[in-house]
Amino acid sequence: MSNRSSNTLVVPQATQALNQLKYEAAQELGIQIPADGYYGNVATRDAGSLGGYITRKLVQIAEQQLAGQSR
């Protein structure tokens, strides 16, 4: 998530955690994160894989938190 992103976070303090998740996901998938934050040269397949992986991880985290709250 670069500073140029038009997406606004509901919880602005989550920026660092989301960036960390993005870098971990990219490393696991073998995708190189552009140093300048510009994703225009990243293959669509790689960007989709990265986004899908991050979404799955966020859903997994939310499910774990909800399961812990319902006990």
Contacts of 24 (CB under 8 A, 6+ apart): none
The number of distinct structural domains making up the chain is 1
Considering the domain boundaries, does residue 28 fall inside one? Answer: no
Over residues 19-39, the pLDDT tens digits come to: 999 999 999 999 999 989 898
Contacts of 41 (CB under 8 A, 6+ apart): 34
Over residues 27-70, the pLDDT tens digits come to: 999 999 998 989 899 999 999 999 999 999 999 999 999 998 86
pTM over 0.75: no
Considering the domain boundaries, does residue 1 fall inside one? Answer: no
Q: What is the domain range of residue 50?
A: 42-71
**What's the pLDDT band for 71 if we cut at 50, 70, 90?**
low
Considering the domain boundaries, does residue 5 fall inside one? Answer: no
Considering the domain boundaries, does residue 60 fall inside one? Answer: yes
d(Cα 56, Cα 62) in Å, to the nearest integer? 10
Considering the domain boundaries, does residue 4 fall inside one? Answer: no
pLDDT at residue number 70 = 66
Q: Are 25 and 46 in contact (CB under 8 A)?
A: no
